[in-house]
Structure 1
Amino acid sequence: MVGVRWMTAGRDATRERLESALGSGRGAVLVGAPGVGKTVMARAVAREFGRQHPGVATRWVSATESATAIPFGAFSHLVELAGADEPAALLRAAQESLRRYAATGLTLVVDDAHHLDTLSATLVHQIALSGMARLLLTVRHGEPCPDAVVALWRDGVLERCEIDPFDADESAGLLEQVLGGPVEGVSAARMFDASRGNPLCLRHLVEAAVDAGSLRQVEGVWQLRGEMRLTPELSTLIDQRLRTLDPEVRTVLEFLAIEEPLSAADLAEVAGADALERAVTSGVVTTSDQGGHLLVHPFHPLYTERIRSGLGRLAARRLRKVLVAQLSATAPTHLGGRLRIAGLALDSDVPPDPDDLVALSWEAMRMGDLALGERLARGALDQTGALSARLPLAHALSWQGRGRDADAVLAPVDPETLSQWDLTAWTLPKAANRFWMLSESGEAVAYLAEMRSRISEPAAYHTLDALAATFAMNCGDLDRAVRVASVVLESPQAQDLAVAWSAATAALSSARLGRFDDVPGLAVRGLEAAHPGLLRFTIGFGQALTAIMAGDVAAAGERARHYLTFSEFQQPGRAIAEVVFGHTLLAAGAFTEAATVLFSAAAALTSTGYSWGPLALMGLAQALGQQGRAAEAADALQRAVAAHGLRSRMYAPELELARAWTLAAGRDLPGAVAAAREALREAEQTGQAAVALRAIQEAVRLGDVTGLRAARRINADVDCVAGRLCIDHASALSDRNGGALDAVSVELEAAGMVAVAADAAAQAAAAHRARGHRTAEVAARARAGALARRCGMPATPALDEVLNPLPLTGREREVAVKVAQGLSNRAIAERLGVSVRTVEGHVYRACVKLDLPDRSALARTVGTSPAPSVTPSSKNR
């Protein structure tokens, strides 16, 4: 990991300003925080200037704190002085000494000019005024600086340029550039938060994380797991800064190393008001106003990270005890405050009551903080070993995808010794863990049914029934899932956990079944339950699909963004929210963004057993396929097939749509149409009306209208905007009615289905062309191109036929595609039911039309050209 790459990446604007100031003026002063890349930037600019002006000499001066008291200490290698003299005489002698370098031009680079002694600073000022040399200075932001240096930019002699830390996006881009691959959003955010965008800090954090194995590639995506460490070099740099602090100021940072931010009032009480004021003055802490409360933060997270790593266990426990006492003095009643105090008290001399820890563990998980839920539950288990502590811990571990660990927590319990209530509570995570995390879905269904037979208490068996409903949904029996969940939801004896599971299951199932009116009420019921946890994303997926089918893709996207915001940067919640968001992007036609989001989500979910993982891969294959990225789509499809099973049986239609777009990208349009029809069959077989309509719509985009009758039948039951648009689209295409296709394209765009609208416009252009309507054809083609550009120019068959046509007949194109797929003429003849000689004739004519020398050239050309079209069928209309 070369340092120059870390320091110069993404700094083009700053570099251009410096180069301009150096080339057309007297020079510049580059100001920035420590480690932000001032020195590297100055060296790069000076080196480039020297390359462009070979007759100009470049001399480098490095000022240091230790040489500040030595007259001309930084210039000792350039300036020859005979002995002590008056300052004015010394300055004249120094200038004369430098003139020998300036005979043909001189560039003088002064690094860390804030450390210059008074005479050196005055010399630099005089050189700038005289124009004897071009100057490039670096100055550390916030450091005391000699007046002579400050005057250079204050009086406009040199241009002042700021070099700032990277923002979050620049930091993420730099990580991907240096690591050579995509970086998970959660991990990039953690690295940015720790480094504050400082490239030097970022570099050392990455190197330490890679060396420790906590930053590694999973399915091609870099992921950070566990704690971040500091390299010895970075620790040394931070220690140099910390050693200059007064002991009282360091105490302020010690408290912030234990917990941050802290209110100024609390920090003043435990560390002292004077110490806090000096910490603010010295710049090691900053303050912010939040709701009228003044909060104190470390100036840089690495300060507190370094202090925390150096604190002994006893010292850390003492600091926690003091903080717990101070924070508890105000007796916080809000949940966030109670969770904060409990987390602090865990590793203090006064641990919280285990019953309180258990209750707060559930609350933390309800808010989506699985890591804190695990800590609190483990703290309770360490004290008691009781089943009440094992249950939230098992849930927290399982929901994080750590199935084996969860099973180990539950294993010591003998179910034969449990009451009905305890048996129910123990069975729930045990069965769920087997279903999702341990790849024992079939066994988990049977196990849950067997344990259910032992329970007679209604409130207890409702909880198991809620989980059974979720199993049924994932296994593809959505109608049964809704029936079982409805019984639970109608019972006044059902507890919150049962309500959360049942409402989430019923919300998503109802949306996919086409029972859209039921979704809003179910969503509210589930979200109001005490323990929705990760179940909120199941609800969100149902809400998003409902909005899409109502013809409001924008609303679906906003709903998905809401859940993405809720998840913040905690896994696996963040990745699950990205799956929901990615599928709304697919509906909108934002394939590039969808592929990025789903690629990252799939990698994060690889180590878990969630059915969201296969779904992410299915969506990824669809996005890549519609971009024409055949090989990548095929890889995603293969991984989706491998991950698919009983626990994701509900998503079988999506798997077939992934296959359809993968085949379309590979120029196998008949295979793509067959896969889309299979998606419809899978959806209808499981009663998923909404998904069936979407499968028909995708088939229509591929030129197939055989699902028109099914669309009319299905939409007669569910009656939604997306269904009506699908029917209008298929009907217009079946009739080759260009005007009707134009109209439906406009309606699809209004619904937010931009890629579908682009395909409809392209199909309209083809229909107008077939009828000789040249003006209408040109207008439709222009509209198709404009819509396609909004989607990043997808490579769908309809768009490619109109925007990038090959001058071949349908049969010539079909044969050429099979040639590109590597089939021999005999194999092609067998597939098409024609003679080998006929195939040879088609190959010959295709080569002539495309001005190609031979069969190999035809394969290469067609293999990289847009996908061929297929003539729409009117069968079974």
Structure 2
Amino acid sequence: MNLAWPVIERRAESAAIAEAVGSTDGSRGVLVEGVTGTGKTTLVTSCAAALPRPVRWITGTAASRNRPFGAVRRLVDATSPWTLAALLSDMSRGLSEELTGGSIIVDDAHLLDPLSAALLNQLATARSPTLVVAIRSGEPTPDAVTALWKDRGLGRVTLGCFDRAETETVLATALGGPVESRTVDHIAATTGGNPLHLRRLVEGSLAAGHLRRAHGIWQLREDPAVTAELARHFRERWLQSPPGTRRAVALVAFGEPMTLAVLGDLAKHVSMLGAERTGLVRFAAEGRTVVARLAYPFLGDVIRECVDDPTARRIRGELAARLTGAPDPAERIRAAELSLGSDRPAGARELTAAAADAIALCAFDRAVGLARAAVTDGGGLEAHLVRAAASAGTGRAAEAEELLATLDPTRMAEPDLVLWAMLRAGNLYRNLGSGDRATDLLAATRRRVTTPASRQCLDAARAAIDVRLGHTCAAVQVVERIRDAGRVPPAARMWAASAGCLALSLMGRGSEVPQWSRQTDGLTRWDTSALRFAIGQGEMLALTYTGEFGPAELCARRYLELARNHDDTWYGMSALLGKLELARGRLHECKARLEEAVSGLGRTDPEWRVLANLLLAQCLALLGRPSDGVAAAARAEDAHGESTVLYGADLGITRAWLAAASGDLGRAIGLARRAADQASRHGLHAVEAEAMHSAVRFGDRACGARLRALANVVDGDLIAPMTAQAVAAEAADGDGLLSAASQFDHRGSRLLAADAYAQSAAAYRRAGDRRAELRASTRAYTLARLCGDAQTPAIRAAAGPLPLTPREHEVAVLAAAKLTNHEIADRLEVSTRTIEGHIYHIYMKLEVPDRESLADTILMETTP
């Protein structure tokens, strides 16, 4: 792919340069500094057009820095026999006269030879020509150049790296399409925003196939790669360093992040300082500890490839020995990984434990390598089980099933048998879509176990599967019995909580979910680590369905951070945050998030794919794009299978919204009612309420009784205004609909509020109350725009702005702010009589008698 690499305008820096060179106080010039790759040459080149003419360029080079006047040889006659002082004076005067009123641009001034630097310093004293001097930060620079801003008064502009927003702009422009947020974050962190490194990383990742487009969104699906040119640049910088410095950099490359204590044990102090001076290593405080990291994450591969095998094995061994037994799981994992290619290999027991630690941190790819090594080294049953769990976590569900199927359960001790059965059943139903096989396996295993603890574990795992198979009420009865038992194994409690939290949130019993999740605090082990996200799914849904939007967002952010090491889980939790954004009416944010989730999930994890595509289809329908929504719904149906029966009603709700967006309201109401019936059969009363309320929003005027009944069993703050809207819609009660809209508005559910305001406007229109209709219609229109120009049936039918001309609207706002006619006339520079005419027409159009009523109407339009 040929990239047309964009140039990001550095407005602040350009303005600072223009101000410095145009100064009338002190020397006319500026020193521009920045690290390699920040675009100093690009910036000064772009500023050259605005500099006084004529313009001369001087460029410092490594080749010319050792020759007298090497950088300026083309511009001056350096053959004069005068003494050095006279020669400098003569050359300075000659250039000043030649470039009177003009400019000199000096690029890479840190590479100037001493005499060229001295000449530059003399030119600065003359204040003509204007000087624009670029240097590289962190490089030895001639004193005469440094004196330009210290002693000669030149301005100084530091050119930094791109921030995240600028990085995203560059990536989207260069790649010709949107880039997922995680990829932007990863690339920004990897390159530090350095423009040159950013370009080389994108080019290298494209060439390696690591950066690719899925569903129209660019994603980095593997570690970023850099071009050979950039790798060579850093390789040469490392090779040119002293031996001690090279060793210190290599230690960091193999072992980052490294505390100063660890690095100090393995490298001399002077070598650590040298490593920092190379620009390849940086030291920074992380919490209360100062750690060493490579300046750019991609340097790790570059440096490690430069180290010969014997040295690499020795370094890995030294680091592994230093980290072995650390209390931090992340350090134990690193120690085990380092030992694999070292002269001090770890044993199967240590490798298995490290793989289990990696699974607990959702670092499944790392766990696979460690567990595979443990099995090869003669690891026992636990190593095989850990390897299977890690394979399932990396999307290799068939491989995990094969590994587990080859194990002989008849030769296992009962605790191992239970663990094997739960791991295999979880993989069968979650990843392979085979719920029946999973439940049959658990039932067969239950017949073989003898202890209550084993039965509790198997029953809890069966309940978690039953929830997703639609047997919600029965599953809740099972997990409540387990919860209330005296002594329950941690695994049983985790599985029970994962089933209970999800089921109760969908059943409308969201207020009970926190006590379930609290019972699992501190219980997570490697074999149940994935269950915390099922618990999180229940927590987030409970908070969303009950209208606790602020806590729901905090909960979502917490789980996204926990899932940062596992793409599929991260995208799944992100999709749940999309549901929250949909509930709040943040449609554009919701659409972008769900498109990323759909793109990232690919063909893995059917449950997350169903959920993400259904929510995306609903969002697109609300944005007036039903054809795009149909495609998303089709993807959800393709992924919908035995393990996702739980989302059948959600699929019906989605189809209803697509029908409504296409204008077929009769079909939309029928689909919503059937979805409500399906949810009711499974006891999913929160989903049932959502479906019935959707029918109300489509114009169904016979939902009040059912929603009143649901209000007795569904928790939270949203069911009351849902019921009030349905009851008021039956009676065509504009005031009742307005009250429901106000409740939604107060709770932060803008889109639901917009629909209710729009329906109240329609009711007021039928009642002939023009003023109330305008107020409600205006509020509906305002909220719909805040939601991203939402287009629901009610909004399309009744929402609209105030029927005022732009000038009348301007006058109305000022009048509502209690300005007198005379004050408004002065503000708008027109006559008072003209304002009086506008006020008269405003009153007539809005059917308001006075300014107080006008203020109420304008307030409906302007309140966020």
Q: What TM-score range do you get, normalising by the shorter chain?
A: 0.7 to 0.9
Rounded to whole Å, the distance in 2 between the matches of 1:438 and 1:410 is 14
Residue matched to 1:310? 306
8 A Cα contact 2:167 2:184, kept in partner: yes
Unaligned 5+ segments in structure 1 are 808-877
Letter in 2 for 1:787: L
Shift in alpha-carbon separation, 1:507–1:231, aligned structure 2, 3 A: same
Partner residue of 2:760 out of 761, 764, 771? 764
For normalisation by structure 2, the TM-score amounts to 0.85
Q: Deviations over 1:261-313 (max 9, x none)?
A: 22212211111233224434555433334454332233333444421232234
Residue matched to 2:407? 413
Task: Quote the RMSD (CA, aligned, Å).
Answer: 3.0
Residue matched to 2:862? none
Partner residue of 1:718 out of 714, 721, 730? 714
Q: Deviations over 1:771-823 (max 9, x none)?
A: 2323323332333244334323322232233345999xxxxxxxxxxxxxxxx
How far apart are residue 621 of structure 1 and its match?
1.5
Residue matched to 1:73? 70
Letter in 1 for 2:370: L
Counting aligned pairs with the same residue, the percent is: 33
Residue matched to 1:587? 583
Rounded to whole Å, the distance in 1 between the matches of 2:280 and 2:745 is 53
Q: How many residues are aligned here? A: 798
Rounded to whole Å, the distance in 1 between the matches of 2:662 and 2:18 is 49
How far apart are residue 33 of structure 1 and its match?
1.0
Is 1:472 paired with 2:466? Answer: yes
Is 1:225 paired with 2:221? Answer: yes
Partner residue of 1:33 out of 32, 35, 50? 35
Shift in alpha-carbon separation, 1:524–1:357, aligned structure 2, 3 A: farther
Is 1:352 paired with 2:353? Answer: no
Rounded to whole Å, the distance in 2 between the matches of 1:242 and 1:805 is 65
Rounded to whole Å, the distance in 1 between the matches of 2:787 and 2:328 is 46
Residue matched to 1:248? 244
Is 1:690 paired with 2:689? Answer: no
8 A Cα contact 1:602 1:614, kept in partner: no
Residue matched to 1:553? 549
8 A Cα contact 1:270 1:326, kept in partner: no
Residue matched to 2:860? none
Rounded to whole Å, the distance in 2 between the matches of 1:95 and 1:671 is 86
Residue matched to 1:631? 627
Q: For residue 480 of structure 1, give the secondary structure of its aligned residue in structure 2.
A: helix
Partner residue of 1:238 out of 234, 249, 252? 234
How far apart are residue 236 of structure 1 and its match?
1.7
Partner residue of 1:609 out of 605, 609, 613? 605
Rounded to whole Å, the distance in 1 between the matches of 2:755 and 2:98 is 68
8 A Cα contact 1:478 1:686, kept in partner: yes
Q: For residue 57 of structure 2, give the secondary structure of its aligned residue in structure 1.
A: strand
Q: For residue 165 of structure 1, give the secondary structure of its aligned residue in structure 2.
A: coil
Letter in 2 for 1:73: G
Letter in 1 for 2:50: F
Residue matched to 1:178? 174
Shift in alpha-carbon separation, 1:630–1:40, aligned structure 2, 3 A: farther
After TM superposition, the structure 1 = structure 2 runs for residues 87-486 of structure 1, keeping only pairs within 5 Å, are 87-95=84-92, 98=95, 102=99, 106-154=102-150, 157-280=153-276, 283-290=279-286, 292-328=288-324, 332-415=326-409, 417-486=411-480
How far apart are residue 596 of structure 1 and its match?
1.5
Shift in alpha-carbon separation, 1:722–1:452, aligned structure 2, 3 A: same
Partner residue of 1:622 out of 600, 605, 618? 618
Is 1:511 paired with 2:509? Answer: no
Rounded to whole Å, the distance in 1 between the matches of 2:658 and 2:119 is 69
Shift in alpha-carbon separation, 1:394–1:169, aligned structure 2, 3 A: farther
Rounded to whole Å, the distance in 2 between the matches of 1:505 and 1:792 is 36
How far apart are residue 418 of structure 1 and its match?
4.3
Residue matched to 2:856? none
Shift in alpha-carbon separation, 1:235–1:482, aligned structure 2, 3 A: same
Tell which deviates more after alignment, 545-554 or 648-657. Answer: 545-554
Q: Deviations over 1:809-857 (max 9, x none)?
A: xxxxxxxxxxxxxxxxxxxxxxxxxxxxxxxxxxxxxxxxxxxxxxxxx
Letter in 2 for 1:633: G
Residue matched to 2:44? 42
Partner residue of 1:498 out of 482, 487, 492? 492
Q: For residue 32 of structure 2, give the secondary structure of its aligned residue in structure 1.
A: strand
How far apart are residue 608 of structure 1 and its match?
1.1
Letter in 1 for 2:584: A
Letter in 1 for 2:33: V
Shift in alpha-carbon separation, 1:614–1:295, aligned structure 2, 3 A: same
Letter in 2 for 1:209: S
Shift in alpha-carbon separation, 1:278–1:652, aligned structure 2, 3 A: same
Letter in 2 for 1:14: E
Is 1:704 paired with 2:697? Answer: no
Letter in 1 for 2:321: A
8 A Cα contact 2:107 2:135, kept in partner: yes
Rounded to whole Å, the distance in 2 between the matches of 1:790 and 1:715 is 29
Shift in alpha-carbon separation, 1:806–1:273, aligned structure 2, 3 A: closer
Q: For residue 631 of structure 1, give the secondary structure of its aligned residue in structure 2.
A: helix
8 A Cα contact 2:109 2:133, kept in partner: yes
Letter in 1 for 2:59: S
How far apart are residue 202 of structure 1 and its match?
1.7
How far apart are residue 611 of structure 1 and its match?
0.4
How far apart are residue 581 of structure 1 and its match?
1.5
After TM superposition, the structure 1 = structure 2 runs for residues 781-860 of structure 1, keeping only pairs within 5 Å, are 781-804=777-800
Tell which deviates more after alignment, 245-254 or 600-609. Answer: 600-609
Shift in alpha-carbon separation, 1:84–1:223, aligned structure 2, 3 A: farther
Residue matched to 1:811? none
Q: Deviations over 1:31-86 (max 9, x none)?
A: 2111112222222332x538xx9xx4444322112311222322233334334543
8 A Cα contact 1:567 1:573, kept in partner: yes
How far apart are residue 650 of structure 1 and its match?
0.8
Rounded to whole Å, the distance in 1 between the matches of 2:474 and 2:293 is 53
